[in-house]
Structure 1
């Protein structure tokens, strides 16, 4: 790999390849500017439920990875790569324009139908262009003389693609917070920017047509491919003649060259089949790892917070770091010791690093799960008892609660066993009788598999049902319990930066707040962390707070998001070794007539990965996130060991003897 950087080949590095690089950057900038805000647009602007918006985004992503096969068929069978890019780029631009105009309600385009049409056209345009653009870049080189330069091109392509993705993500994050057209979020600017970038891509490609090497398909290779395979299968059932390979039965009718090409295609597809495990893991990053980040602490101090989705920026940033290191350091050093020198060895090694990333992620999830809120199981009821008074009390509710003491301004957790269904019993409170007007009753409630909280005031016992999640990924929530609300009728004031939150003194509902430090009545300081539920106990005297206690009901997300960086480091290293090498492998190990189709086949593994992971979750839903991560990590190691074992027997495709007769180029 290192020799590619300072090649002394007879053929110079083609200057027109920079047109491809510019096109890739513009394409990825546009796509990430749209995709990074698509979910927020559906949820915040269109006002879909989170589940519905998630399903639409999943379908959109699946289409983006399915449409490459359509672009490949159009390119390899009919119009060629350049014309296919131009045609589908127009569809891509139309999709972005529809989304932009729909947001600002121009030309009456603001409707759900327009949104769906826009999403579909964008997925079609983005997906179909991708394999055509990559293989058009490969066509600018002369093989086998520029084999090392092709190797460098695919790594450089992946570098600029991630550069575009990262910049687009950051640009969209800044643009979408603007206010325009009376909309809360300026999605029109983000989508409009994407449309402008794609238009620039279109103009550059039209202008650069004369300098690009354009290879036109000679025939509809898919038709010949199907006929040849069909004939071989038909002859296999009829003929008793022994042949080395069942496809050899078609040599007489379709020629050795076509049969040889089809054999190479099947070999490439067989190599790509185990890589479906990478597709599963790659799709999981956008779901499982974001969920994991949402269960972690993203606070940076001074009120700044890292949102879970923003951790995804680590992926393109680390790719930009790894690719130069891999090309300039890791591969040359390994080559000295004859290690990971072939494409399949590099793919296998990359897959191993991806597996390591999932094991690291699994251990992170184990640490998170050890800190989750405790929920009552079958036959149990969890009771939380609060005493916002200045004297201790005892609560007796036989046969379930036996004189439980709750000290002044205190809190007591009780796990009550042997609770079946709904139970209502008598209760009596002792202590503080001189303060409490009602110390007994007949409505002490216990419910199986529920958490119930009780708190005492000067008027007697009160209760509410706790809504506690095992995993909390929300903003913090607070509940204010005042022991003597009659001493302070009206509202209490929580101040956060320049925002004021007013809470009635007798209101004990759960309220969502910002992460950070608040000042209660300008005199008491309280800090609330993401993912936690707090109960604040207050006792008032002469209209002012005399006593205050803050209790953490669910444990805050203590593990910081930056602990995800090691798993991103290993995943991106594996990705940087696997993906560019697999794309180069698809190009160099395929006949000239089907290079785009084989490149598209690699992108299809993302779709199959998405389908597979969904099926696995339906058949065997994982109880814990850590279990899922360990299962997929172990499966990755198993598959990659098998892949590397089989790769030792792979015979690399050599079609250069046919290239001269196949090529029909014009400038």
Structure 2
């Protein structure tokens, strides 16, 4: 940190911030700014993949791809932010300008989720989808630019506010700063899914993504205002040039110089960076060598982030097919992500104060690189758990017809059993007022269905990729009716239901309206829990109740002999799609293992990088670390878009296997790595440089003395000649 001096007092110019309990008051504004900004970012990101799937109506693979593209950009832009701050604007102005960009992006996201449904479009699908997609993409780009750009600046700017004698206070500040990051993340991933789950459609039960994005936008504006309010108190260091640019120039010159002198006439150098000695200082070259040594170890690291960041995409989508009912508490799919910050805040002190010391007492040398290796294995184990959970989920998911198939269910509307013959199937004995168990699968096209006693035969055309129900009347000689059933599992925990009227008079069902005789209603969406329907045929009526789970579909049949005094027992229910039955609690182990992996890999990795980096190049390694996160997210895109693995559990196993393979490679690289002390190496080169300076000075004095003596001899020679 470069300190400006007041020419009058010889003191550092530190703004006008007062000290409270030994801490600059200015850091309060920085801490509040960070909390609000992290709330804004993680709150928006928590519901993002569900917004893609359920609002923009993208499939799982596209939603996952765009999500990880956004995350990758968020970890690429910090390099740009660091260069702008250090070389041009300084940290303060960079934070201000990019926070404005950030806030505009969050507002754009909120606007993109405003549901502009009209009277002619009441199915919950937004009109003008191009506008929503374009606005959301612009918003995400601005957010990535803003959050990434200020990422390397805020913490460093906070550290700048302390005097050199405030080491203890500075360390406390960074601890509080880290707590704010996790606190903002924790609260936002609890709150924004609740906001998303609200209904704010005008004519439909549309989820309120505009509110879920609007609150983070408001928090980002608060973050910006709070930071600006403290402006007069801050110490604002002037930009001193970016070390990353110097490093790149030095490496570029070494490569260029090595290529220029590739002939055998020039002697070989001990290290290829030594070719930069003709232009650059030996200390800088030695520092770059240390950085490159660590960056080489970074090569396998992106694979960890490939798995880790799928918490917000694949794992959240997995949770949408599970049961979030925990008794007194109902968990939204995107709220499962709160386990990560909760476990982080719990595991970090436990690992530091208990686990690591215990391992050390057992005589094991648990070096940082070994911790990172174990962390990678923990992440792989998390995906094995995710695959096992997916296998359980797949058992409960319906199998829908393929492009050449059709599925058919039978419903006996009569008060007597009926025997039905289907092509290629055993004879089906349907009980009175009951449906068949499940759907029968046929090749799409015309089929013949017949009954016995009386013998009736009818031909029906089965539509491809469709589920249908055949309503068989009490008098099988009358017209049989074919319905079109829902062809996808209800999403976001809702349930789709309909009623079939088996009476010879109309019946009125609350929420469905009047249903004609021997006909059926449209589907109606209901939430989980107990729902009551009023079934009425003047002058009789009754209340029919049903306890709904998540993601189910039912057909309720009102028989001709319905007893309005006991309609709860008279009305029958056919389960077309079973509700989510696998509890979200099964995701807890995979979140636990991925978080243990994060603590051992990420926290240890940053600690290792800083301990092995020269004092003036820690920012270079930070940029390299963030780059591994970005590359890891791009790997997800490759697998999601190119591999196209049909079974999700197989995709999880693939990711786990790749990480284990990469972990083996990393462990070999770590085995041959030699730990260094950058301070000693830098001191050695500085001492050598000082010795060289002294030798140069001594040599220069000797040359001057020899020159003077030579001149005196010449003068004496001239005088002798005279």
Q: Paired residue for 2:618, among 547, 572, 595?
A: 595
Change (3 A) 1:313 1:324: same
Contact persistence 1:135–1:587 (CA under 8 A): no
Q: Following the alignment from structure 1 to structure 2, what is the Cα–Cα distance between the partners of residues 660 and 151?
A: 29
Deviations 1:215-258 (A, max 9, x none): 83377415533433433542463355333322222223323222
Query: Residues 151, 269 of structure 1: CA spacing in aligned structure 2 closer, same or farther, 3 A cutoff?
Result: farther
Gap runs ≥5 in structure 2: 1-20, 116-130, 536-541, 687-722
TM-score (norm 2): 0.74
CA deviation after TM superposition for structure 1 residue 123, in Å = 1.8
What's the counterpart of residue 548 of structure 1? 571
SS at match of 2:299: helix
Counterparts in 2 of 1:236 and 1:320: CA distance versus 1, 3 Å: farther
Provide the residue aligned with 1:309 in structure 2: 334
Separation of aligned partners in 1, 2:197 and 2:545? 30
Cα distance in 2 for residues equivalent to 1:134 and 1:659 = 28
Farther off after superposition, 571-580 or 129-138: 129-138
Give the structure 2 partner of residue 428 of structure 1. 450
Q: What is the alpha-carbon distance in structure 2 between the residues aligned to residue 190 and residue 415 of structure 1?
A: 45
Q: Contact 1:74–1:80 (CA<8 Å) still a contact in 2? A: yes
2:526 paired with 1:513:
yes
- Could you tell me which of 637, 641, 647 is aligned with 1:618? 641
Relative to structure 1, the CA distance from residue 363 to residue 95 in structure 2 (aligned partners, 3 Å threshold; closer, same or farther) is closer
| SS across alignment from 2:269 | coil
Offset, 1:277: 1.0
Deviation at 1:53, TM superposition (A): 7.6
Contact 2:302 2:631 in 1 (8 A): yes
Report the secondary structure of 1:385's partner residue: strand
1:92 matched to 2:140? The reply is no
Question: Which region of structure 1 is more displaced relative to structure 2, 558-567 or 608-617?
Answer: 608-617
- 2:471 aligns with 455
- Match status 1:406 vs 2:406: no
Is 2:76 the partner of 1:63?
no
8 Å contact kept, 1:159–1:319: no
1:356 paired to 2:410: no
Which of the residues 666, 677, 680 maps onto 1:643?
Answer: 666
CA distance in 1, matches of 2:193, 2:601: 29
Which of 531, 534, 557 is equivalent to 2:554? 534
Question: Contact 2:489/2:552 (CA < 8 Å) preserved in 1?
Answer: no
Distance 1:257 1:14, change over 3 A: farther
Say if 2:362 is the partner of 1:334.
no
Quote the RMSD (CA, aligned, Å).
Answer: 4.2
Larger Rg belongs to: 2
Helix, strand or coil: the match of 2:570?
A: strand
Measured in 2, the distance between the counterparts of 1:41 and 1:559 equals 23
Compared CA separation, residues 632 and 353, structure 1 to 2 (3 A): same
Match of 1:31 in 2: 41
Aligned length: 621
Q: Which residue of 2 aligns with 1:196?
A: 222
Corresponding position of 2:693: none
Which residue of the partner structure matches residue 311 of structure 2?
A: 285
Q: Does 2:155 correspond to 1:128? A: no
Cα deviation, residue 598, structure 1: 2.1
Structure 1 residues 120 and 378: CA distance shift in structure 2, 3 A: closer
- Residue 182 (structure 2) aligns with: 162
Displacement after TM superposition at 1:79 (Å):
5.3
Displacement after TM superposition at 1:337 (Å): 3.0
Cα shift readout 1:167-226 (whole Å, capped 9, x = no counterpart): 23345456778999x99754545422321123213444652327xx88833774155334
Equivalent in the alignment of 1:525: 545
User: Hey, what's the Cα distance between the residues in 2 that align with 1:320 and 1:249?
Assistant: 47
Aligned 8 A contact 1:95 1:122 in 2 = yes
Following superposition, the deviation at residue 562 of structure 1 comes to: 1.5
Give the TM-score of the pair, scaled to structure 1: 0.80
Which structure is higher in RCO with an 8 Å CA cutoff and minimum separation 6?
A: 1
Runs (5+) with no aligned partner, structure 1: 1-12, 106-110, 434-438, 494-499, 663-667
Measure, in 2, the Cα distance between the counterparts of 1:14 and 1:574: 37
1:482 match: 501
Describe the shift of the 1:349–1:230 C-alpha distance in structure 2 as closer, same or farther (beyond 3 A): same
Given that 2:610 and 2:618 are in contact with CA atoms closer than 8 Å, whether structure 1 keeps it comes out as yes
Q: CA deviation at 1:159?
A: 4.0
For the 8 Å contact 1:395–1:428, the answer to whether it is kept is yes
